Chains A and B, each alone.
Chain A
Amino acid sequence: MSELYAILFTVAFIVLIAGLGRKIVQYHKIPAPLKIPVTPAPITKSGVYFRLAKEVILFSSLFRSNKWTWLFGWMFHMSLFIIIVYHLRYFMSEVPAWIVWLQSVGKYAAFTMLIGLAGLMVRRIAVPRIRHISAPSDYLWLVLLFIIGLSGVMMRFVTHTDIVQLKAWAMGLTVFDWQPLPMDGPLLIHLASVAILMILLPFSKLLHIPGVFFAPTRNQVDNPREARHVSAWALELDAEKNKAQP
């Protein structure tokens, strides 16, 4: 069983990195032939970084759109982010002090994550407009994330798992040295659902994670009159090649 989980995680990690990498390369390669920032837009590159940072860190457009969705969505994402960061300790022999500190505060983020997910689920079911646009997978993602959070909470606050052995297993993964895994129900559920999430991420709507950085509507500088912007394929068009010259 330990080996099975080790193989599962190794595969999940490879699929996640390769899958995400493939999409990022794809997004990067496809040209944006026209300047289409949603205006008012920044007129400098640093302004664009600021705009993207506001979107990614604060979800500023979502805040403008809908306060409830923002509240639950932001709670969920920020909590998950904190949780992922302090989970790094399972892959480090020396744990930096700030991660220890982050965990001491951040372990409660599991609760805000679960509240956020529950709020998003209630919205998805209760608001007819959102129910109308939801496919089964939209609910299942929330369920999967909820299972991950809940099994984590179980281990942290109820049925403490053998954390030393778990860390040995996790550290072993990074060097393909497979160590035994504690055979606890919540841990096995937790790890299996995380692996499923990692494997499915590059093939799902979770592609909004790289996507948010690639939307030309947000990442372009508003300077079309000052700098001519032309894509490679547009340079090959007849009209471009044969245009009138003074």
Chain B
Amino acid sequence: MADFDTPKFREYPIVPQIKTGAMDGTSPFVSRPEFDNQLGYPGQLPEDWKEKVLDKMSDLLSRYRSLQVFMDACMKCGACTDKCHYFIGTEDPNNMPVGRQDLLRKVYRRYFTFAGKYFPKLVGAVDLTEEVIDTWYSYYHQCSECRRCAVFCPMGIDTAEITMAAREILAHAGKASKYSNEIITKVFRIGNNLGLPGPALEGILEDLEEEVEEDTGIAVKYNMDVEGCDALLVTPSADFFAEPHIDGLIGYGKVLHEAGITWTVSSKASEAANFGLFIGSYENMQKISMRIREAAIDLKVKRIIFGECGHAWRVAYSFLNTLAGPFDFLDQNYPIPQHILEVTHGLIQEDKIRFNKEENDHMTLTFHDSCNVARGSRMGDHPGGQFDIPRAVIRAACNNYVDMDPSTTHDATFCCGGGGGTLTDDLMELRVKGALPRMEALKAVEQEHGVTNIAAICAICKSQFTKTLPYYGFEMDAIVSVHQLVSNAIVMKGSEQEAELDGTEDSENKDDE
């Protein structure tokens, strides 16, 4: 399948021995000037690159308290060293969170601290060289910004913050990742990561309407750019395009229809994901977020609802108000923005949705907590709602559900291995190896409880698992969307499914379809 070995399942998940240099040189393709320039970066190594790098570092240190405190506060206790999925999968010590942080910290100490200026050897400070830049480029693109290390750090040091700063610094030295930067230019130019233009989206949505009507007998609307709806739906563009994402989108439509909430997507803001987060650029993240504000204003909606997407939900929940708010022109009776799972869960609690759970009986499910939802956001009104709500929705729609090992779920969840701008084919080895801890936990519930499918609420997790499940001996379609389960089981009022269940007269001709 590829020129590397898929890691073996470990009999006991003991901490691996370190293999220095195991992932040396593994890097994503470098971006091109045509993309970088559009995002405000030089696109090539400037002549005075050393100065530029140190200037940018100084600038970020003065603008981000997190970076300044995290550079100083690590006392090398080692608590994080065995917590990163990429370290577990690759055994490379530079993939230990502190190892990754130290790549930047050593340079910080050399140029910004007394001890590092005068006693570099004593405190492990190093000079800034081109090799250092290359090492940064490699290892700061082997981090998915999943924040698992931050949960376990006694100082609360979040490697994601340091990775973002490092990527921003690298971009100013002409070394940005092509994957993220090219995608951001597509968002600005076309409206979404996949580069699906408006007419194509419209065609897809029309097909969905036909499909759902054929299946249920109900004309559920999947609107695009329709003014005056209740809600703007912002969802990852993969939801328009790929399995199992699109089944989730079908589910959102059914739920919103059943709730009587009219909604539309926007061709301009046809993407929930915000890759500005990945590259650590406040400016780009803000520009991407503004599309959503503009779409909400243009389409005169009262609410903003987000589809299933992990990093997108972090940016939406935690940052949207900061970046593109205030949203005083929207209906203040609803959370702004609201997650589709909050909507569905609310309806379940109010008993406004009916399910026929048997529709999902062919599956035994488990749930993968997406890292950025778990550790960078919330759902509902209490801390931890981001764990309870998806599970409550799955249980409402399915009979067979089991959790994976608790050391791999909730806020201790492992990243799928493809988050934070690593979901690119040029990092396939990293992605497969980084998936190891999640695959092991899945294998365990498969063997003990006969789990057949794993549900997720993130477009990246879904794409990553579709690609990596086969490496570990699972079926690629074992990954499902949570709203796919909802879509399977929902019994809409007046639908053929309702007639069939309640045994009204036109139920007889159901079987011929």
Where the two chains meet, the residues of A that have a C-beta atom closer than 8 Å to any C-beta of B are 23, 26-27, 30-36, 38-43, 55, 59, 61-62, 64-66, 69, 73, 123-124, 127-130, 132-138, 140, 203-208, 211-212, 214-218, 222, 224-225, 228-231, 233-234, 237, 239-240, 243-246
Residues of A within 8 A of B18 (CB): 128-129, 132
Q: Is B79 a contact partner of A69 (Cβ separation < 8 A)?
A: yes
Q: How far is the CA of A243 from the CA of B374 in the complex (A)?
A: 30
Q: Name the distance in Å between A214's Cβ and chain B's nearest Cβ.
A: 5
Q: Is A30 a contact partner of B81 (Cβ separation < 8 A)?
A: no
Q: How far is the CA of A123 from the CA of B151 in the complex (A)?
A: 22
Residues of A within 8 A of B282 (CB): 33-34, 234, 237
Q: Given A32-B64, A69-B78, A135 and B155 touching (CB < 8 A)?
A: no
Residues of B within 8 A of A137 (CB): 115, 122-124
Q: Name the distance in Å between A216's Cβ and chain B's nearest Cβ.
A: 5
B294 within 8 A of A: yes
Within 8 A of A (CB), among B382-418: 382-384, 386-387, 411
B114 within 8 A of A: yes
**Cβ contact of B155, chosen from A30, A134, A208, A224, cutoff 8 A:** A208
B158 within 8 A of A: yes
Within 8 A of A (CB), among B80-103: 80-83, 93, 96, 98-99, 102
Binds A, one of B314-322, B434-442, B472-480: B314-322
Q: How far is the CA of A98 from the CA of B317 in the complex (A)?
A: 49
Q: How far is the CA of A46 from the CA of B325 in the complex (A)?
A: 26
Q: Is A34 a contact partner of B319 (Cβ separation < 8 A)?
A: yes
Q: Is B375 a contact partner of A208 (Cβ separation < 8 A)?
A: no
Q: Is A239 a contact partner of B287 (Cβ separation < 8 A)?
A: yes
Residues of A within 8 A of B376 (CB): 36, 38-39
Q: Is A30 a contact partner of B62 (Cβ separation < 8 A)?
A: yes
The 4 closest A-B CB pairs, nearest first, are: A211-B73, A135-B124, A215-B156, A40-B383
When each residue 282-301 of chain B gets 1 if its CB lies under 8 Å from chain A and 0 otherwise, what string results? 11001100100110010000
Q: Is A27 a contact partner of B68 (Cβ separation < 8 A)?
A: yes
| 19 pairs, CB–CB < 8 Å, chain A vs chain B | A30-B62, A32-B65, A34-B282, A34-B319, A39-B374, A41-B383, A124-B78, A132-B93, A132-B96, A203-B113, A204-B115, A205-B75, A208-B72, A215-B155, A225-B321, A237-B283, A239-B283, A244-B297, A246-B297
Residues of B within 8 A of A32 (CB): 64-66
Q: B296 — nearest CB in chain A belongs to which residue?
A: A246
**Cβ contact of B66, chosen from A133, A207, A217, A225, cutoff 8 A:** A217
Q: How far is the CA of A42 from the CA of B17 in the complex (A)?
A: 37
Q: Given A39-B374, A65-B154, A243 and B290 touching (CB < 8 A)?
A: yes
Residues of B within 8 A of A218 (CB): 156
B77 within 8 A of A: yes
Q: How far is the CA of A191 from the CA of B257 in the complex (A)?
A: 75
Residues of B within 8 A of A222 (CB): 378, 383
Q: A19 — nearest CB in chain B belongs to which residue?
A: B114
B76 within 8 A of A: yes
Q: Is A133 a contact partner of B81 (Cβ separation < 8 A)?
A: yes
**Cβ contact of A211, chosen from B64, B72, B123, B384, cutoff 8 A:** B72
Q: Is A133 a contact partner of B383 (Cβ separation < 8 A)?
A: no
Q: Is B76 a contact partner of A130 (Cβ separation < 8 A)?
A: yes
Q: Is A129 a contact partner of B114 (Cβ separation < 8 A)?
A: no
**Cβ contact of A31, chosen from B65, B73, B293, cutoff 8 A:** B65
Q: Name the distance in Å between A220's Cβ and chain B's nearest Cβ.
A: 10
Q: How far is the CA of A26 from the CA of B71 in the complex (A)?
A: 13
Other CB < 8 Å A-B pairs besides A65-B80, A128-B18, A214-B65, 8 of them? A30-B65, A39-B411, A43-B382, A128-B17, A217-B150, A222-B383, A228-B322, A243-B290
Residues of B within 8 A of A231 (CB): 63
Q: Name the distance in Å between B10's Cβ and chain A's nearest Cβ.
A: 17
Residues of B within 8 A of A237 (CB): 282-283, 286
Residues of B within 8 A of A40 (CB): 378, 383-384, 386-387, 411
B324 within 8 A of A: yes
Q: Name the distance in Å between B510's Cβ and chain A's nearest Cβ.
A: 44
Q: Is B386 a contact partner of A65 (Cβ separation < 8 A)?
A: no
Q: Is B319 a contact partner of A133 (Cβ separation < 8 A)?
A: no
B336 within 8 A of A: yes
Q: Name the distance in Å between A28's Cβ and chain B's nearest Cβ.
A: 9
Q: Given A32-B66, A212-B155, A225-B335, A135 and B123 touching (CB < 8 A)?
A: yes
Q: How far is the CA of A127 from the CA of B16 in the complex (A)?
A: 11
Q: Name the distance in Å between A26's Cβ and chain B's nearest Cβ.
A: 7
Q: How far is the CA of A40 from the CA of B297 in the complex (A)?
A: 32
Within 8 A of A (CB), among B447-461: none
Q: Is B78 a contact partner of A130 (Cβ separation < 8 A)?
A: yes
Residues of B within 8 A of A42 (CB): 383
Q: Name the distance in Å between A77's Cβ and chain B's nearest Cβ.
A: 10
Within 8 A of A (CB), among B48-66: 61-66
Q: Is A207 a contact partner of B73 (Cβ separation < 8 A)?
A: yes
Residues of A within 8 A of B121 (CB): 136
Q: Is A30 a contact partner of B319 (Cβ separation < 8 A)?
A: no
Q: Given A228-B321, A239-B287, A129 and B15 touching (CB < 8 A)?
A: yes
Q: Is B155 a contact partner of A129 (Cβ separation < 8 A)?
A: no
B329 within 8 A of A: yes
B70 within 8 A of A: yes
